Amino acid sequence: MSDALDPVPPAPSAAPAGPPAALSAPPDASLLQRLRDRMTEPAPLWLTRFILLRFLGFVYLFAFLSAARQIVPLIGHDGLLPLDLFLQRVATRYGSPFGGFQQFPSLFWLDHSDAFLETMAWVGVGLAIVVVAGYANSLLMAALWALYMSFVHVGQDWYGYGWEIQLLETGFLAIFLVPLLDGRPFPRRPPPAPVVWLYRWLIFRIMLGAGLIKIRGDECWRDLTCLYYHYETQPIPNPLSRSFHFLPRWAHRGCCLFNHVVELGLPWFAFGPRLMRHIAGGLMLLFQVTLILSGNLSFLNYLTIVPILACFDDTLLKTILPRRLVAAAGVAAATARPSRPQLAAVIGLVATVAFLSIDPVLNLMSGQQAMNRSFNRLELVNTYGAFGSVGKKRGAIIFEGTADDAASAAARWREYRFKYAPVDPERRPRVVAPFQPRLDWQIWFASMSTPERYPWTLHLVWKLLHNDPGALSLLDGNPFPERPPRFVRARYDRYEFAPPGNATRAWWQRSTLGLWLPPLSADDPRLRRFLAAYGWLAEDDAVGGGITGR
């Protein structure tokens, strides 16, 4: 332990008088020696562990809260992608429910009722609050990890994002960062340094993977022009996104260059001398804060901060954290006792991560780098990346309904609004991250593709035609509160930020490009046949031919 958290040393024994220490060596040499010691000496990690776990608990809290508020209308029995049908297909493909469980480990093989789904999500919220409050042990962290993995493995399209497996890897490491049973904020067992190193290995792969996928992907990252478009075309802009979008071009190019420095250069210093590691960690932290300010990227940036915190040790944190916290860490350090079983578990973890890192490292070195991919069923060591390509134009799918004859030119179409994705040009973008509105995110992906690639959009149409309460709970209100619409269609629009201070005070300028889905009614044979093919409608109710979109 360094002197930062050690108890006051006993007085030295008597020694012959001599010149003061300050006069025994040149001041410059002493200063250089102290600087060298601070860069090389082993540093305590009590405060590092404390804040890292609290921040991880914060991320878990919003991850489970997002599930608790949306999971039933998304994958419940009457959801857009029903879980029971998914489990049936998986069990059929792999020969049995147990075979399916081996491929997709999840608690929901035991019970996938709506009540159990929602209950488990709220259990996750409760456990995360305990961690945020300062209490964590291996059993608690293992429960959070296993529970969230259960959602990820059966969440289908709604849980197909890179930060889901990133949270699983981050959460798995936390199981070994704390004692098995002692859940106090500063337990008797010291923080195992190798686990902190594994967090540094994680942030190295996250940042380097994101940087390489950009350089290898879209040309606009190489010519420093991607930020001309990113703030406008990102999934869910926030109130500051428009201000970022209208920054001068030189600022966009400078920020793009800073992005490359942070993602391609700074990760290498995560294993460097203390001073350089602290500087690199600070700049990577600043980078994540700017991303939080400029858009709603779910809990991705907050999650990425967790392994960044592993770049800092107590020699730095004691200068910025409350004195009471620093004192508590000092008391714990003075009475700490290592545990042989914990040491053995950590050695096993390091060996496992080293072996499982082979494929992610080969992927990073490959010219055909994959983005956000897991190489094992438990998502223990993965490869990451973000925005390998950037759209130059923002397309949006707008669902509309009418109580009139859809073929009539006089038909009055009313828009369904998403809670956070742009629909009304005059509505100011909202702050939603770290909460993730999963329907709003998926509609952004669907806008770059076709209905056949996103079949749940047809299921959404069917539910809107019946004023389904679950589906409507995912939207911002119901334009047909008294009775369902006769027809629903999906329009395809182009959205651009309106300049600040424009005469209409609109946030967006939009223009209609065409239809993404034609008008459909509840008795349309094409819609019924399509739904029946996916098991969302009884075969006896399906007649007619197929359905095609834009």
pLDDT of residue 541: 61
| CA 207-280-343 angle, 5° bins | 80
Per the CB < 8 A criterion, the answer to whether 550 and 492 are in contact is yes
Residue with tokens 């076709």, as numbered in its chain: 450
Among the candidates 348, 383, 418, a domain finishes at 383
**Residue 30 clears pLDDT 80, i.e. is over it:** no
Residues 338 and 486 occupy one common structural domain: no
Residue with tokens 């289908």: 156
Q: Specify whether 338 is located in the same domain as 375.
A: yes
The mean-pLDDT minimum among 251-255, 500-504, 545-549 falls in 545-549
Q: Kindly compute the dihedral angle of the four CA atoms of residues 391, 209, 160, 367, in this order, to the nearest 10 degrees.
A: 80
- Residue 473 inside a domain? The answer is yes
Considering the domain architecture, whether residues 460 and 516 belong to the same structural domain is answered as yes
Q: Residue type at 544? A: G
CB 309 within 8 A of CB 48: yes
**pLDDT for position 339:** 86
Quote the pTM value. Answer: 0.90
Model confidence at 15, pLDDT cuts 50, 70, 90, reads very low
Q: In the block, which residue shows the tokens 């709604």?
A: 158
My answer on whether 400 and 367 are in the same domain is no
Domain boundary among 343, 363, 383: 383
- pLDDT of 319 > 70? The answer is yes
Query: Measured between alpha carbons, how far is 481 from 479 in angstroms, rounded to an integer?
Result: 6
Overall domain count for the chain:
2
Same domain for 316 and 358? yes
- Verify that 365 and 398 share a domain, yes or no: no
Tens-digit pLDDT profile for residues 146-179: 999 999 999 999 999 999 999 999 999 999 999 9
Element (H, E) at 287: helix 274-294
Q: What's the pLDDT at 347? A: 95
DSSP strand pairing (394-402 vs 414-415): antiparallel
- The helices-and-strands tally (H runs, E runs) of the chain is 23, 6
Q: Which residue has the higher pLDDT, 33 or 370?
A: 370
Name the DSSP letter for residue 265.
I
Structural domain span for residue 117: 46-383
**pLDDT band at 449; cut points 50, 70, 90:** very high
Q: How confident is the model at residue 502 (pLDDT cuts 50, 70, 90)?
A: confident
**3-class secondary structure for 35-54?**
HHHHHHCCCCCHHHHHHHHH
Give yes or no: residues 242 and 359 share one domain.
yes
Mean pLDDT on 429-442: 97
- In this structure, the answer to whether residues 259 and 375 fall within a common structural domain is yes
Phi/psi of residue 534, nearest 5 degrees = -100, 5
Q: Is 29 part of any domain?
A: no
Q: Is residue 23 part of a domain?
A: no
Centroid of chain to Cα 351? 27
Do residue 408 and residue 477 come from a single domain?
A: yes
Residues 370 and 417 in one domain: no
Q: Which two tokens stand for residue 467?
A: 């004023």
The answer on 352 and 434 residing in a single domain is: no
Q: Average of pLDDT values for 295-312?
A: 97
pLDDT at 27 over 90: no
pLDDT in tens, 103-126: 999 999 999 999 999 999 999 999
Give the three-class secondary structure for 340: helix
**Co-location of 57 and 121 in the same domain:** yes
